[in-house]
Amino acid sequence: VIKCKAAVAWEAGKPVSIEEVEVAPPKAHEVRIKIVATAVCHTDAYTLSGADPEGCFPVILGHEGAGIVESVGEGVTKVKKGDTVIPLYIPHCGECKFCKNPKTNLCQKIRITQGKGVMPDGTSRFTCKGKQIYHFMGTSTFSEYTVVADISVAKIDAAAPLDKVCLLGCGISTGYGAAVNTAKVEPGSTCAVFGLGGVGLAVIMGCKIAGASRIIGIDINKDKYAKAKEFGATECISPQDSKKPIQEVLVEMTDGGVDYSFECIGNVGVMRAALEACHKGWGVSVIVGVAAAGQEISTRPFQLVTGRTWKGTAFGGWKSVDNIPKLVTEYMSKKIKIDEFITHTLSFDKINEAFELMHSGK
């Protein structure tokens, strides 16, 4: 058993607290990882807020991390002690019907136990002050050591800087993949990206790499426009600058609508606007943002009858074990950006400050 520091969320709606936790050794088909770097994501904040119906407490949150394999359980063959890895919240077993289908990346092998905050055998590897602590998204990267299933880990280039590539664990991969895998943005096309946070910027990057000729960024926070343009946005607009609904503004700006639109916020009203901003006959709108539990989307069916397509994406459609190492290589060869996404680097004990910076849009 390893004793180390972790950020424990004891209850919903309260800040996390740095505690000494015990991390049990990995069982069969499990891997124990020394986490070197982790990022904070809105999904962590969503569960911490108490709004997540799957949220269980006390829990160690975190799902954008990178580290080094400390030890492996029986039967683990894909990674060994000392390997550099990224833990994966969407596993990749290669055996279930989802993994065998090229149309999806949603491996279901450990979905049920992962959703309940436990390892595949139904138990936890974390304890603190004599209490069992739940796992989060199969990763729990807000701990100096964590245990994950062996199908939830990608071995990456040992030369990669872990404080950068940890971001490939969720946000950047999700946005980039939404553009290149889910939408399959084509050269010369017109795109609209709603929400210019980390995921929205990654979508813009993907649209630009795919050769889009016009990329319109949409956000009410104008402080985000300069960064969006750095990533490839050709122009940025705010829905608050017009009396007309944003979809009407976009349809007018683009002679009938955009070829591709992306909703990167998790707001069902914006999801509708993103669809309705698409061009009749061929426009495709991708939902990337995760709406709160129980919310529903709506539009007039005629929007779809007249040739628009509404899609969704999880983790950018990447089959994780195979593709995350390739994304690391793309970063190392400067095809994709990561450094430019990072605004603040804080020590682990300042994790609550990181959440505050995220909430304030900084």
pLDDT in tens, the chain (362 residues): 999 999 999 999 999 999 999 999 999 999 999 999 999 999 999 999 998 888 999 999 999 999 999 999 999 999 999 999 999 999 999 999 999 999 999 999 999 999 999 999 999 999 999 999 999 999 999 999 999 999 999 999 999 999 999 999 999 999 999 999 999 999 999 999 999 999 999 999 999 999 999 999 999 999 999 999 999 999 999 999 999 999 999 999 999 999 999 999 999 999 999 999 999 999 999 999 999 888 999 999 999 999 999 999 999 999 999 999 999 999 999 999 999 999 999 999 999 999 999 998 88
- CA atoms of 133 and 124, how far apart (whole Å): 7
**Amino acid 362: pLDDT:** 86
Give the global pTM: 0.96
- The confidence score (pLDDT) of residue 53 equals 85
Report the Cα 5 to chain-centroid distance in Å.
24
CA distance 90 to 355: 23
Of residues 165, 267, 281, the one with CA closest to residue 219: 267
- What pLDDT score was predicted for residue 361? 83
Half-sphere exposure of 196 (CA within 13 A, CB side): 25
Q: What domains appear along the chain, each with residue ranges and CATH number?
A: 2-169+319-360 (3.90.180.10), 174-313 (3.40.50.720)
